[in-house]
Amino acid sequence: MKSHDDPHFPSAKHLATLTALGAAASLWALFLWVELVKLRAGQEPICLSADPKACSSLWDGPFASAVHSYTHLPIALWGVVWGVAAFSLSLFALYRRAGDRDDGPGFKSAVTGTRLIALGGVVGVGIFAVVSIANKALCVNCLISYLITLRFAWLALFDLRKWGFPLWARGALTSTATSVLLYGTFFVLGASTPKSKHSQTLEFESEVSSTRLDDRSGPEDFDKALKTFLEGVDMNARQNIADDLLRYQSALNVPPDKKRSVIGNGQAKVLVTAWTDPKCPHCEHFHNVIHQLSEYLPPSLIAYEPRYFPMDSACNPSWAEPDINQARCDAAKAMLCMEKIPQAYETYVETLFERGKQLTRQLILDLGTPYIARHDLNACIESQSVQSMIETDVAQAQKYDFKGTPLVLVNGRQVTGYPHFLHAIALAKGNERHPLFDSMLPPPQALKK
């Protein structure tokens, strides 16, 4: 009797179904990766959950961020690797089966490799399910991926349970080699995928924490800290510092017409002025950077002047589109109102940025009640004087090469707001001609028009 006359022998139909499921898993994971890239570019991803935050809270959460940082592949691309491996091994087994070459070691090791890949998929789904439960988030997009994986695993592991793991060592080698090859194939794509704001914040904090200074630090301490910082960042970061330094040196010094509130020491060597929008993810990241710099640098070095550019026609005469419930305008005005309470400003603004896409007037007022009476904050938001300040900020932003938020000035000169540059220019006390810049940075690349 031929081996495939055995009822437990993998049929061509069975292997074809596994191949189709592997292809489906690959394509769905690729779709999730595209949506992840959109999310990290500040766009709205397609999230099938009732709460859109359910997707972003997992995709940009600490676990997903750690996987991306340590392996250089985001979880979605790991899904592509798994799916393509499952597809490839199943297809090869199907090819051997259809060619009536199913008695040899190639077929047996391919089926065993397929079953081992399925086992790995079950382990992965288990880990991700625990993470989802811990985050109290139901990501329907992710759930679809889990269901495809579990269906594949059921067919490969349960339905073929009596087949066993023949030539298991060769099968393990086959599945491992396939996975490693695919990892290498997608490595560049994974490394070029934008990292989550959580990862960026942790990495930047690690880089700046080694150069903590205070007002008792002497001139040699600042030079030593700048040298340590430039030595500690990678070549890509140094190139970005060099490019922003050239941009800073080339820019006209055009400070806003009138200073308003300054968070920190108004006489600091470096004054960062930034126009932000409450729902802008890049603005949230920028705000976190400013907070980190203020923690690790003395007040004499850096201060922050907030300005506002809500992308909402309800209060911004230069903007054509309205925002839902005027949330951008209300939040920007609330931030401006909270400038009168410096000890509360940082925490309140951070919370508004975190809740950006959920903001409503009701929530904005609720979040402000620990610091100011609800009716007082509401009256401030409604006041004509605050509306006039928003209009002034918008008009001021038009003086510069405005391409979106955040719009960042350093000592009145427009820059990109790259975090490493801000830290470096602060350590140099605003001196763009510091000798360490010449000796430690690569030549700047031509600036884009």
Q: Phi first, then psi: what are they for 154, rounded to 5°?
A: -60, -45
**What stretches of 302-407 show up as alpha helix (H) in DSSP?**
327-338, 342-354, 361-368, 374-382, 384-397
Q: Is there a contact between 436 and 430 (Cβ–Cβ < 8 Å)? A: no
412 domain residue, yes or no: yes
For residues 136 and 282, state if they share a domain. no
- Picking from 91, 85, 24, 36, the residue whose alpha carbon sits closest to that of residue 60 is 36
- Picking from 323, 304, 305, the residue whose alpha carbon sits closest to that of residue 314 is 323
pTM, entire model: 0.70
Specify the 3-state DSSP secondary structure of 262. coil
The number of folded domains in the chain is: 2
pLDDT at 446: 65
Dump pLDDT digits (tens) for 93-150: 999 888 666 667 888 899 999 999 999 999 999 999 999 998 888 899 999 999 999 9
**What stretches of 253-341 show up as alpha helix (H) in DSSP?**
281-296, 327-338
Mean pLDDT to the nearest integer, 174-189: 94
Q: How far apart are CA 330 and CA 362, in angstroms?
A: 10
For residues 135 and 214, state if they share a domain. no
49 domain residue, yes or no: yes
pLDDT at 18: 96
For residues 217 and 106, state if they share a domain. no
pLDDT at 315: 95
Mean pLDDT to the nearest integer, 31-53: 83
**Residue finishing a domain among 134, 163, 194:** 194
Q: How far apart are CA 56 and CA 417, in angstroms?
A: 24
51 domain residue, yes or no: yes
Q: Is there a contact between 306 and 276 (Cβ–Cβ < 8 Å)? A: yes
| Contact partners, residue 26, CB within 8 Å, separation at least 6 | 79, 80, 83, 84, 86, 87
Helix pair angle (12-40, 140-153), 10° resolution: 160
Residue 6 has pLDDT above 70, yes or no: no
Higher pLDDT, 79 or 323: 79
Please report, rounded to a whole number, the percentage of residues in the chain having pLDDT higher than 70.
95
Q: How far apart are CA 173 and CA 322, in angstroms?
A: 58
114 domain residue, yes or no: yes
59 domain residue, yes or no: yes
Helix pair angle (105-135, 140-153), 10° resolution: 150
Dump pLDDT digits (tens) for 372-426: 999 999 999 999 999 999 999 999 999 898 888 999 999 999 998 889 999 999 9
Dump pLDDT digits (tens) for 351-373: 999 888 788 999 999 999 999 99
For residues 148 and 237, state if they share a domain. no
For residues 114 and 73, state if they share a domain. yes
For residues 188 and 223, state if they share a domain. no
Mean pLDDT to the nearest integer, 173-182: 95
For the stretch 132-136, contacts whose Cβ atoms lie closer than 8 Å and that sit 24 or more positions apart, written own/partner, are 132/58, 135/57, 135/58, 135/61
For residues 171 and 51, state if they share a domain. yes
What is the domain-level CATH number for residue 219?
Answer: 3.40.30.10
395 domain residue, yes or no: yes
Mean pLDDT to the nearest integer, 326-330: 93
pLDDT at 1: 41
For residues 189 and 240, state if they share a domain. no
Angle at 173 between CA 171 and CA 178, to 5 degrees: 100
For residues 307 and 402, state if they share a domain. yes
Dump pLDDT digits (tens) for 275-298: 999 988 888 889 989 988 988 888
Higher pLDDT, 404 or 257: 404
Burial 123-156 (b: 16+ CB within 10 A, else e): ebbeebeebbeebebebebbbbbbebbeebbebb
Dump pLDDT digits (tens) for 413-433: 999 888 999 999 999 999 999
For residues 204 and 158, state if they share a domain. no
For the stretch 430-436, contacts whose Cβ atoms lie closer than 8 Å and that sit 24 or more positions apart, written own/partner, are 430/269, 430/270, 432/245, 432/248, 432/249, 434/226, 436/223, 436/226, 436/227, 436/230
- Lowest pLDDT segment from 58-67, 107-116, 137-146, 215-224: 215-224
pLDDT at 277: 94
pLDDT at 35: 92
For residues 204 and 190, state if they share a domain. no
What is the domain-level CATH number for residue 10?
Answer: 1.20.1440
pLDDT at 449: 47
Q: Which helix (H) or strand (E) holds 300?
A: none
pLDDT at 128: 93
pLDDT band, residue 49 (cuts 50/70/90): confident
Residue 193 has pLDDT above 90, yes or no: no
Average pLDDT, the chain: 89
**Residue finishing a domain among 170, 194, 218:** 194
pLDDT at 248: 92
Mean pLDDT to the nearest integer, 242-259: 86
DSSP 138-168: --HHHHHHHHHHHHHHIIIIITTTTT--TTH
pLDDT at 81: 97
445 domain residue, yes or no: no
Residue 236 domain boundaries: 199-440
Tell me the C-alpha to C-alpha distance, in Å, between residue 201 and each of 44, 45, 220, 236: 21, 22, 28, 17
Q: How far apart are CA 90 and CA 283, in angstroms?
A: 46
**Residue finishing a domain among 194, 212, 244:** 194
251 domain residue, yes or no: yes
For residues 258 and 302, state if they share a domain. yes
